[in-house]
Amino acid sequence: MSGSTFGTIFKITTWGESHGMGVGVVVDGCPAGLALCETDIQNYLNRRKPGQSKFSTPRKEDDTVEIQSGIFEGRTTGTPISMTVYNKNQRSADYSEIASYYRPGHADYTFDRKYGFRDYRGGGRSSARETIGRVAAGAVAAKLLDMLGVHFLTYVKSIGPVAIDPSRFDAAQIEKNPFRMPDADAACEAQNYLNTCMQAQDSSGGVVECIIRGVPAGIGEPVFRKLDGELAKAIFSIGAVKGFEIGDGFEAARAVGSDNNDCFYYDENGRICKKTNHAGGILGGISDGSNIILRAAFKPTPSIGSPQETVSKDGQNITVRVKGRHDPIIVPRAVVVVESMAALTLTDLMLENMHAKVSSISDFYNHP
């Protein structure tokens, strides 16, 4: 299984299974001298952890991070940063049934077909607990980006048929409701919708939107490591993501060129600006200096309590009600996972951009 490493310069490897000893990450390539402590990581992990409301899995997990290496006297040393979260609230018995059948919509069938053997406890490596490593690493990347003036605003844009109203957008609301929606009225509507879903032992999908401010123009490596392509890869690597958009995304296909193009102009300081941002901050795979806007569509949680048809491993057609403690909606907990993957992608490409021009290299080496 060689797919657990992400990034070229700022490289992460996540490890661990849902019901194993723990989960974690090794971040290699973080420059030395970045002020970093466990609280920086924990603040990110707390946005992901379960049990925050009745609309997330009732598993009570503290998800407390331990940093094993790479930091000395509050600063990164330039060596691998290893971080672990120990699994404390496993109830593997809840999942023992999954060993004998394939959950519709989950990865049980494909893991078996690929490896011929799988850790079925809680989904093993296909469990959302794997995203803990991404979020811990994302917190490091975000700290570095913050120093460079790059900031994230990430939230839930819609849940099922309920979408936020842009005229009511209030960023202060994001951490005030269990759905992380920047619109209190939409959050109330989403609550009613989800209560109906949960009564039917069903689940819902939703959309996460991420706005990234302060990214300088010039980030992205054409032609195969374009910024939009790398972001798409990063976001699609998160379980349950079924769609990805930059800027107007699929809407652009319905527009005419004269509406879709973002016209340039010089502002009063002689800087090149755009009148609109249909492109979502990326042209030709390179950041253009305006806000980067991306969206991730998440499917409804596959493990649901309502009866579904499937097959058992011993050759029977059966009907199952999936047991265990599952999220009835994924997007509120996925907000920080999307933000982390975007932060990791940008950090990697911003480091890579440092040697795009001979002048940057000579500035660096000729500097006294």
Ligand X SMILES: Cc1cc2nc3c(=O)[nH]c(=O)nc-3n(C[C@H](O)[C@H](O)[C@H](O)COP(=O)(O)O)c2cc1C
Instruction: Give the interface with ligand X as residue ranges (CB under 6 A).
Output: 57, 106-107, 126, 128, 131, 238-240, 299, 301-303, 326-327, 330, 333-334, 337
Whether 91 has a binding-site annotation, put simply, is: no
Looking at beta carbons only, is 221 or 327 nearer to ligand X? 327
Looking at beta carbons only, is 61 or 348 nearer to ligand X? 61
- Residues 247 and 261: their CA atoms lie apart, in Å, by 12
Whether 313 has a binding-site annotation, put simply, is: no
Smallest distance from ligand X to CB 240, Å: 4
Paired tokens of 149 = 């003036």
Whether 48 has a binding-site annotation, put simply, is: yes
Whether 54 has a binding-site annotation, put simply, is: yes
Smallest distance from ligand X to CB 138, Å: 13
Whether 80 has a binding-site annotation, put simply, is: no
Smallest distance from ligand X to CB 129, Å: 9
Smallest distance from ligand X to CB 131, Å: 5
Q: In Å, what is the CA distance from 147 to each residue of 36, 81, 348?
A: 12, 19, 15
Smallest distance from ligand X to CB 303, Å: 3
Residue with tokens 């299974």: 17
Residue with tokens 């699929």: 250
N-terminal to C-terminal alpha carbon distance within the chain: 46
Looking at beta carbons only, is 78 or 243 nearer to ligand X? 243
Smallest distance from ligand X to CB 263, Å: 38
For strand 292-298 and strand 241-246, is the pairing parallel, antiparallel, or unpaired?
A: antiparallel
Looking at beta carbons only, is 98 or 144 nearer to ligand X? 98
Looking at beta carbons only, is 282 or 322 nearer to ligand X? 322
Whether 125 has a binding-site annotation, put simply, is: yes
Whether 129 has a binding-site annotation, put simply, is: no
Looking at beta carbons only, is 107 or 215 nearer to ligand X? 107
